[in-house]
């Protein structure tokens, strides 16, 4: 049986480890590529680079910023996408408050305080309260951030600050689409996912209970099972 080509796109300060639990379960049915979101300071450029690197048609899943890049890929070359999965993400452009937050993090990076950003500012909003004391999980998140580094993070934040959003293309997405979120995601609310699922014609909304923003790590087996079902549609 020919394996489906699957591209997984991480969010900011994350790498392939964000998807590792799903990779282990899906690798029997999918040929998996982990995209890189750290090389460009533009969502459009990141999407174009992924399309250049991955030949032919493929299925696509992205979490957080990865979902934003996935939507931009749909804009640029939607005809090449067999299936789409949007996890814990946001189709809107940034608010002024979000832009100010991103700029604060950029300034902290430039002033030498990158190491403080994840434990002080990000972790409290990334995870469900029940996971805040999970040392293995919090250590993994900090390790991924440190591996990404301040320069790449500045590029990612610049991409987020300057994004135009993707609301205008949602009704044009025709491939089978999974919209998945943690019910308690504090960064990308449930209402955003309900709106996306309502606007995308061939979509299914899944809400994971007792789960925050990093659903692939907080509820790995549950998310993997839904992704496997989606891949076999």
pLDDT tens sequence across 116-164: 999 999 999 999 999 999 999 999 999 999 999 999 999 999 999 999 9
CB atoms closer than 10 angstroms to residue 86: 33
**Residue 183 and residue 212: Cα distance in Å, rounded?**
7
pLDDT at position 86 is: 98
- Structural domain harbouring 124: 1-233
User: What per-residue confidence (pLDDT) applies to 66?
Assistant: 98
Running DSSP on this structure, what letter comes out for residue 2?
A: P
CATH number of the domain residue 61 falls in: 3.40.50.1820
| Spatial distance between the Cα atoms of 233 and 34, rounded to a whole number of angstroms | 21
C-alpha torsion sign, points 79, 163, 108, 154? positive
Q: What is the pLDDT of residues 177-214, one digit of tens each?
A: 999 999 999 999 999 999 999 999 999 999 999 999 99
Q: With beta carbons less than 8 A apart as the criterion, state whether 147 and 182 touch.
A: no
pLDDT in tens, 218-231: 999 999 999 999 99
* Predicted pLDDT at 134: 95
Percentage of the chain surpassing pLDDT 70? 100
The pLDDT value given to residue 188: 98
CB atoms within 10 A of CB 63: 29
pLDDT class of 233 with cuts at 50, 70, 90: confident
Q: Mean pLDDT across the chain, nearest whole number?
A: 97
Section 36-43 average pLDDT: 96
Predicted local confidence at residue 2, as pLDDT: 85
**Structural domains in the chain (count):** 1
The predicted pLDDT at position 133 comes to 93
Task: Please say if the pLDDT value at position 61 is more than 70.
Answer: yes
Cβ atoms of 88 and 188 closer than 8 Å: yes
Tell me what pLDDT residue 110 has: 97
Q: Pairing between strand 203-208 and 177-182? A: parallel
Tell me which residue has tokens 């796109």.
Answer: 9
CA 162 to chain centre: 17
pTM for this entry: 0.97
Neighbours of 96 (CB within 10 A): 7
CA separation for the pair 157, 5 (Å, rounded) = 29
Strand segments (E) across the chain: 4-9, 30-34, 58-63, 81-87, 177-182, 203-208
Q: How far is the first Cα of the chain from the last one, in angstroms, to the nearest whole number?
A: 15
Q: Which letter does DSSP use for residue 95 in this model?
A: P
- Provide the pLDDT confidence category of residue 1 given band limits of 50, 70 and 90: low
* Predicted confidence (pLDDT) at residue 168 exceeds the cutoff of 80: yes
């Amino acid at each position: 049986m020919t394996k489906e080509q699957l591209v997984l796109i991480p969010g900011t300060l994350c790498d392939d480890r964000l998807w590792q639990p799903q990779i282990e379960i899906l690798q029997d049915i999918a040929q998996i590529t982990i995209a890189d979101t750290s090389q460009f300071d533009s969502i459009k450029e990141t999407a174009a680079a992924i399309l250049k690197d991955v030949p032919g048609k493929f299925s696509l899943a992205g979490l957080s910023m990865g979902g934003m890049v996935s939507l931009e890929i749909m804009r640029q070359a939607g005809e090449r996408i067999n299936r789409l999965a949007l996890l814990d993400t946001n189709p809107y452009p940034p608010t002024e408050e979000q832009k100010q937050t991103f700029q604060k993090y950029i300034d902290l990076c430039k002033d030498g305080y990158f190491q403080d950003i994840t434990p002080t500012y990000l972790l409290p909003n990334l995870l469900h309260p029940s996971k805040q004391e999970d040392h293995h999980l919090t250590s993994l998140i900090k390790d991924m951030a440190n591996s990404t580094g301040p320069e790449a993070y500045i590029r990612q934040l610049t991409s987020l600050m300057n994004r135009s959003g993707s609301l205008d293309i949602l009704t044009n997405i025709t491939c089978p689409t999974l919209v998945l979120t943690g019910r308690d995601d504090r960064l990308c609310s449930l209402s955003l996912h309900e709106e996306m699922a309502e606007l995308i014609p061939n979509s299914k909304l899944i809400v994971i209970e007792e789960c925050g923003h990093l659903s692939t790590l907080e509820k790995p087996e549950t998310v993997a099972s839904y992704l496997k079902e989606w891949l076999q549609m």
